[in-house]
Structure 1
Amino acid sequence: MNKTIVAAALLAASAGGASAQTGLSIYGIVDAGYVRESGGVAGTTNKISSGVGSYSRIGFRGTEDLGGGMTALFQLESGFRVDTGEQDAAGSLFNRQAFVGLKTRAGNLTIGRQYTPWHQALAQVGDPWGTGYAGGAKNLFPDYGSNVRTSNTVQYSAPPLMGFNADIAYAAGEQAGDNKAGRQFGFSVGYSQGPLNVRVAYNNKNTDIAAAPGVTPVDRSVGTNRMLVANYDFGVAKAYFAFSRDKGFNSAPLGNNANPYGGVPATASTDGNEFLVGLTAPLVGGTVLASYMRKNDKTFFNQDARSWGIGYQYPLSKRTHAYVAYGVVNNKNGAGYTVANNTEPGTGDRAFNLGVRHSF
């Protein structure tokens, strides 16, 4: 639950005695745990890691009532490492999110560094792990790089209507002389009513490099991601499903570009798909999580992979959870997929997590 720093402040307007209400809150997650990874070229690795289940972060949210049903808003969020106390991205203060915008009855319009609709669909609807822990979708799904968040982004979120929701985002490439080079756009449309939650998402990424003095232009194929995700709450358990189709250059970036298994060098697929089924279920006061995934690489390399994971979360309070998780990846034909967690791409084909997560 957010700690409210400024609950409300009334500001006298220069005309008509009008007033505006402002609010500022600080929030965050502190997550740390023991991680054991094995199966990589370096052998077994034992370490204390930050952000195993959820990325450790601190953030600020603010709003101002502008009147007439319009509200100004902003959000600034920075990642950090609990194990060392370091800033997560050197030289970038608010590397996770940094945007400002307006909220109206017609929806929200925000500008800055933001999550992509594709990532939000996977994390919020399709993955029982929320893309964290050793069993999360990051093991095989391309939830890395600009598939997760983009800078220079304008995003519109429609207000919920009869259970339907929608988001659309455009990230400018900002390369002189070429409006298409480096740009990215995407959208999602969903329906959430009762026990059913379903969403479709699309991502389109241009990684061309425009001609400039001293710069050789590069023309690449456009990378696209098309995804269907859903979950359904049966009461005794909640079932999850995700299917993503990836096509084109950099559509499916690898979290770990090194090849820990030998054979054909690991190559990021430019034509393939991922499939996930999972569940969560209450057990002895906590929650069991499980998932099974498959990667189908349709390129010449045929670097397929399968992954499964199982874990347990136990609430120590409303804001603090202890967790344990175990994940396995089976690679074929020199594929280089590794068991990841929310913050790290991993180094091997097996990993064990044990830790604690606190939110404020």
Structure 2
Amino acid sequence: MKPMKLAAALAAVALSGAAAAAPSITMYGVVDTGLQYTHVSNRGVDTLEMNSGNYAGSRWGVKGEEKIGPSTVGFILESGLASDTGEQGKSGSLFNRESQVYVTGSWGTIGAGRVGAFTSGSSSLSRYWDFEPFETGYYDAGLQGTQVNVWRLNSNTLYYVSPKMNGFEFGGQYSFTGYTSDKETNGMARDSHFGNIYARWDGKNARVIAGVEADFIGHDYRDTDPNKTRWSAKLAGAWSPNAGPVTLFAGYNYYKNQDRFTDSTWDDDYKVVYDGSGRGLEGHAFFVGGRYSVGAANFLAQFQFLTGKNKGAVKGDEDDYKRYVGSLGVHYYFSKRTMGYGVVSYAKGTGLLDTDTTETNRVVTTVGVTHWF
């Protein structure tokens, strides 16, 4: 090879190696906008509105990584937004959806910042979102219709995720402030704290997850709501027979001493009255669902059932409740980046969830478009 050609070849190799080792920065996001019609059964109220984040929360973010020896250091900064109005997702907090730095290697990943719970459908740490057909989206159609902590985010969190071994992965996280506050005080006993552990296995045609969540309520929490430790345990599985077009889903959630029925009943949660014992809502939630894929379309269906009791009810007050949620939907992928959706859900409650002022006995119909960039 001639000297000039040899020099050019060596320079190209050197440059390609330098480029491979250079830090990477990526900007990404989701825009999800749709029209939603809601009929509230108990109040006879009908609304039609344009809204944001029906299937996936609208957001933009920046992430990057740098290889340092055998390990990789990275960060994720993600900001929520309302695509129908342009408003910031959370006032006073720019990167409200995720804000973390992490180090990963052959031994696993350690990170710190604001992240979602493993057994939630939120943030890059979610290990739960793909265990039901609606992928924790929409008002009631996803698991938030009968479960708690499905949309859970925590600040001031340390976490660890193991490397995958034969399809098996586990991890744990601990938040110094939980969800009652985003700020630490001078005494750990005064703050609330959140802990979450999980184990997940992914096989060729099936996957399973189990996890436990705990809110340790701090001494500074002076609300009349339950202040005993709030527990939640989750178990779910998904199976695609013969790797075919059908995927079946099923799961269970048990919770204790919670201050809400589900993640999607916020309009009714605050109406519950407690006796000051520190105890709260205790429930058992079950779900079964399915997805059928044909061409660019996914057809979705799910049924959920929740039964529970207010263990901290004032003597003589109603303490039982149930909730039934049925959902049908279709996701149609116009491309890898753009998806159209149409979803309808029916939710019916009894007991504490069936009063003259109940707002979560409803039919919700949503159509819209989600675009990833």
TM category, shorter: 0.7 to 0.9
1:155-188 alpha-carbon deviations (Å, 9 max, x no partner): 1011100110112101013332234740111111
Instruction: Identify the residue that residue 128 of structure 1 maps to in structure 2.
Output: 133
Structure 2 distance, partners of 1:26, 1:302, is 48
Residue 217 of structure 2, aligned match among 207, 231, 252: 207
Q: CA deviation at 1:128?
A: 1.4
User: Cα offset for 1:248?
Assistant: 1.8
8 Å contact kept, 2:144–2:262 = no
Shift of 1:336: 6.4
* Superimposed CA distance per residue, residues 337-360 of structure 1 (whole angstroms, 9 cap, x where no aligned partner): 9xxxxxxxx865110011111111
The answer as to whether partners of 2:189 and 2:218 remain within 8 angstroms in 1 is: no
Q: Which residue of 1 aligns with 2:46?
A: 44
- Aligned partner letter, 1:248: N
Letter in 2 for 1:129: F
Q: Which residue of 1 aligns with 2:33?
A: 32
Say which SS state the counterpart of residue 138 (structure 1) adopts. helix
Over 3 Å counting, the alpha-carbon distance change for 1:37 and 1:52 in structure 2 is same
The whole-number CA distance in structure 1 between the counterparts of 2:338 and 2:273 is 39
Aligned to 1:190: 200
Summarize the alignment of residues 66-145 of structure 1 with structure 2, pairs less than 5 Å apart: 66-67=68-69, 69-120=70-121, 123-133=128-138, 134-143=140-149
2 CA distance for matches of 1:222 and 1:157? Answer: 25
Deviation at 1:335, TM superposition (A): 0.8
Higher relative contact order (CA 8 A, sep 6+): 1
How far apart, in 2, do the equivalents of 1:73 and 1:321 lie? 29
Equivalents in 2 of 1:217, 1:296: separation in Å?
A: 23
Contact 2:348 2:361 in 1 (8 A): no
Q: 1:132–1:59: structure 2 CA closer, same or farther, 3 Å change rule?
A: same
Q: Give the TM-score taking structure 2 as reference length.
A: 0.81
Match of 1:236 in 2: 245
Q: State the AA in 1 paired with 2:80.
A: G
SS of the residue corresponding to residue 119 of structure 2 reads helix
Give the aligned partner of residue 4 of structure 1: none
| Runs of 5+ consecutive residues of structure 2 not aligned to the other structure | 1-15, 178-183, 275-279, 312-318
Contact 1:125 1:199 survives alignment (8 Å) = no
Normalized per residue, which structure has more helix?
A: 2
1:222 aligns with 2:229: yes
Residue type at the aligned position of 1:223: R
DSSP 3-state at the match of 1:258: helix
CA contact (8 A) 1:272 1:297 kept: yes
Asked if residue 314 in structure 1 is aligned to residue 332 in structure 2, the reply is yes
Distance in structure 1 (CA, Å) of the matches to 2:226 and 2:320:
25
3-state secondary structure, aligned to 1:332: strand
- SS, match of residue 230 in structure 1: strand
- Quote the offset at 1:220 in angstroms: 2.2
Q: Which runs of 5+ in 1 are unaligned?
A: 1-7, 12-18, 338-345
Task: Write the deviation string for residues 132-170 of structure 1: whole angstroms up to 9, x where unpaired.
Answer: 0252111121136xx611100001011100110112101
Once the two structures are TM-superposed, the CA of residue 126 in structure 1 deviates from its matched residue by: 2.4
Amino-acid identity (%)? 22
C-alpha displacement at 1:88, in angstroms?
A: 1.2
Q: Could you tell me whether the CA contact under 8 Å between 2:175 and 2:194 is conserved in 1?
A: yes
**Counterpart position of 2:180:** none
Q: How much is the aligned-residue C-alpha RMSD, in angstroms? A: 2.9
Report what 1:60 is aligned to: 62
Q: CA deviation at 1:254?
A: 4.8
Tell me the TM-score normalised to structure 1 length: 0.83
**Structure 1 residue 257: Cα displacement:** 3.6
Aligned residue for 1:118, secondary structure, equals: coil
User: Are 2:255 and 1:246 equivalent residues in the alignment?
Assistant: yes
SS in 2 for 1:248: strand
For the residues of structure 1 that align with 2:295 and 2:103, how far apart are their CA atoms? 44
Q: What amino acid sits opposite 2:239 in the alignment?
A: Y
* Amino acid corresponding to residue 229 of structure 1 in structure 2: A
Structure 1: distance between partners of 2:352 and 2:100: 41
Distance 1:53 1:242 in 2: 21
The residue identity in structure 1 corresponding to 2:346 is: V
Describe the SS at the equivalent of 1:54.
coil
Q: Give the whole-Å Cα distance in 1 for the aligned partners of 2:217 and 2:53.
A: 29
Give the 3 Å change call, closer, same or farther, for CA 216–253 of structure 1 in structure 2: closer
What's the counterpart of residue 335 of structure 1? 353
- Preserved CA contact (<8 Å) 1:37 1:348: no
The structure with the largest alpha-carbon Rg is 2
Hey, what's the Cα distance between the residues in 2 that align with 1:58 and 1:91? 16
